[in-house]
Chains A and B, each alone.
Chain A
Amino acid sequence: MARSVTTRHKTIATVAAWIVALLIFFPILYTIITSFKSEQEAIQGFSIIPSGTFESYTEVQAQSGYFKFFFNSVLLSVGSTILALLVAIPAAWSMAFSPTKRTKDILMWMLSTKMMPAVAVLFPIYLIFRDTGLLDSRIGLMIMLMLINLPIVVWMLYTYFREIPGEILEAARMDGASLWNEIVYVLTPMAVPGIASTMLLNIILAWNEAFWTIRLTTTEAAPLTAFISSFSSPQGLFWAKLSAASTLAIAPILIMGWFSQKQLVRGLTFGAVK
């Protein structure tokens, strides 16, 4: 009796989880479906059965070369993540293992920078980029993406590092390890799951960032967000083309997320039940 109740609960929970997952995934699924419709079909109303045409993909590729934007997206998301980790690992180490009275305040202040709307600093940032010659440059955008995601990276790493017993680091120190060796050979290998999930999350955030990547680029450094933006038309039907462009833009990150989901979930729930 008890077993059948448990099984029924499990089934209900599984069905509920599937429904929630489908609801969350549905906008993406519908975008993909729409990309296989003609423009007329796309605007006709809700329908989950497309005619299966590839004309939007052909047109999107003919209008703007996808691969240049794709290459920039890869470079910017991976580059900004590496930069962020280089800065955040030492910062999180010092906060986790040598905290001061102000550590919590600093962490909160870092997070508070994320609470400001980006548009509030558009002009100052634009002027800085203009004066330093960084407008439409990959390196400038990499630094920008690193800076906007840094608070989250530091926070995540700080949480993971706090899970590592300080005694292990002390033992390494007693064995004569320098600070550098302690971080590189002791701390980092132990925090690999946390660092990996932080890295993956940061790549996703950088890949999807659309405010700065559209506003600070023109032709050379424009990533896939700019590619998507170019298919919206004030006069003319564009939903199918926009959906095809969006599908092409999200496909790489979706595939990456699919293959690394175990790592991501493990990292994100690390220490959650402590």
Chain B
Amino acid sequence: MKLRTLTLGLLSASTLAFAAHAESITIATVNNGDMVRMQKLTEDFTKANPDIQLNWVTLEENVLRERVTTDIATKGGQYDVMTIGTYEVPIWAKQSWLLPLDKLGDDYDAKDIIPAIAGGLSVDGKLYAAPFYGESSFVMYRKDLMDKAGLKMPDAPTWDFIKQAADKMTDRANGVNGVCLRGKAGWGENMAFLTAMSNSFGARWFDENWKPQFDQPEWKNTLQFYVDLMKADGPEGASSNGFNENLALFQQGKCGMWIDATVAASFVSDPKNSTVADKVGYALAPDNGLGKRGNWLWAWSLAIPAGTQKADAAEKFVSWATSKHYAELVASKEGWANVPPGTRSSLYANAEYQKAAPFAKMTLDSINAADPTHPTVKPVPYVGVQFVAIPEFQGLGTTVGQLFSAALAGQSSVDDALKQAQDAATAAMTEGGYIK
């Protein structure tokens, strides 16, 4: 009798436990402000979906990329949702590593996603990652210093104007550098900036036959202009400066202009952290009159790996995190200025957002000005504005970034850096089978 009671009790308990057991999904992400905010607001999701529990794994960007690549390539199944960029999506989707997002829900309104962003995250018309926040790049400048220099920043400046303004604004005795640009080596650091800049000079990484183009005059013009500009008007030790270092310099009032990610606008205009918050103006990335501007296109996006066993729960989460409802949730809790930017057209049509984010229009115009399928003046065989969406680019981009960073630091000449870049790219393309 006792045994039967015990058995029945155990069976009931285990049944109840099973019923109450929530499906847990693991989300891999980076430690950006918007991502951290999302983690804090997930109660809204779990309340509506009590059967889904969320586990977060936050990693350094490069470690995340490596971990996610290992897991996805071996079908480890450790992650159900992962944060990836515009670079990975087309490569991984083509390798069938990602699930297409075709069950995001009736009220998701996928057509509201900004076309340029959606295009970068789609393969053969199917969306493989939902953008969490998107960005382009533009010019952030000090209005007071521009006035002092007797200049007026046009909405769409040229590189010559940037050089002229930088020369006039540089005041090293008072710690002001005319311009701050990325110099730290890395495919996502200086090469993101320089590749986008080179597009406006008419340069390209490869011709239609995948032959590297660093031996062409367009690249020489790009790199020489960049090195000369930075030597004359850039901060000391610029070859070590990436996004974060330049952000700190600009916030401390040490840069007249900073050309970088549009997402930086919310940082530099935040009076809590920026000493120049009320003095910042915005303009489109510069051009050289060739029809292309030096702005990039990027989106941190949520994707579902093909190896997941919990695709439905994962897609529910992706739908929630990238929905209009989420934007409204952030606005209600933390204000419109903190809504993740650059993903939905409706956000830019919202009067409250426009009021809270004076850089909204310029951000949208910058995003719309980037075309990943036709990034530069001449035709190219690749997709990507500030990167080349091929697996070899991470390694090659960083190698070339090191060479260009050395040229900026004065350790090598522009000509030597370009020659070595040409050799490295030729070797990588030959090894990869692109050049027969």
Contacts and interface: CB of A to CB of B under 8 A. Distances in A.
Interface string A116-153: 00000011001100100001100000000000000000
Given A219-B57, A236-B32, A39 B273 contact: yes
B31 A233 contact: yes
A43 interface: yes
Interface stretch (A101-109, A168-176, A224-232): A224-232
Contact of B78 (A40, A64, A127, A218): A218
Contacts of B252: 40, 44
Nearest to B135: A235
Nearest to B33: A236
A214 B55 CA distance: 16
B33 A126 contact: no
Given A44-B248, A233-B32, A218 B74 contact: no
A233 B26 CA distance: 20
Contacts of B261: 235
Contact of A43 (B32, B73, B77, B245): B245
B263 interface: yes
Contact of B31 (A127, A215, A222, A238): A238
B74 A232 contact: no
Interface residues of B, number: 40
A214 B70 contact: no
A237 B32 contact: no
A165 interface: no
B296 interface: no
A72 to B, nearest CB: 14
A234 B61 CA distance: 6
Given A126-B74, A232-B60, A40 B248 contact: yes
Given A40-B251, A43-B248, A214-B67, A232 B31 contact: yes
Greatest chain A CB density within 10 A among B60, B63, B251, B263 is at B60
Contacts, number: 90
B244 A230 contact: no
Contact of B30 (A126, A136, A233): A233
Interface string B70-84: 110111111100000
A236 B267 contact: yes
Contacts of B76: 126, 130, 135
A63 interface: yes
B59 interface: yes
B129 interface: no
B387 interface: no
B58 interface: yes
Interface residues of A, number: 29
B264 to A, nearest CB: 8
A229 B248 contact: no
B28 to A, nearest CB: 8
A215 B67 contact: yes
B58 A236 contact: no
Which of A44, A123, A214, A235 has the most chain B CB atoms closer than 10 A to its own CB?
A235
Interface centre among A135, A218, A231 (most CB of B within 10 A): A218
Contacts of B267: 236
A222 B58 CA distance: 11
A233 B67 CA distance: 16
Contacts of B60: 229-230, 232
Contacts of B245: 43
A226 B188 CA distance: 23
Contacts of A122: 70
Nearest to B189: A234
A123 B74 contact: yes
B30 A218 contact: no
A128 to B, nearest CB: 10
B232 interface: no
B247 interface: yes
B349 interface: no
Contact of B70 (A44, A123, A219, A238): A123
Interface in B376-425: none
A226 B33 CA distance: 19
Contact of B244 (A127, A215, A222, A235): A235
8 contacts: A40-B248, A130-B75, A135-B76, A214-B67, A226-B59, A229-B60, A233-B33, A235-B33
Given A40-B273, A229-B59, A230-B57, 11 more contacts: A40-B248, A40-B251, A43-B248, A44-B248, A63-B36, A126-B70, A215-B70, A229-B60, A231-B31, A232-B60, A232-B61
Closest 3 CB pairs of A and B: A230-B58, A232-B60, A43-B248
Interface of A: 39-40, 43-44, 63-64, 122-123, 126-127, 130, 135-136, 214-215, 218-219, 222, 226, 229-238
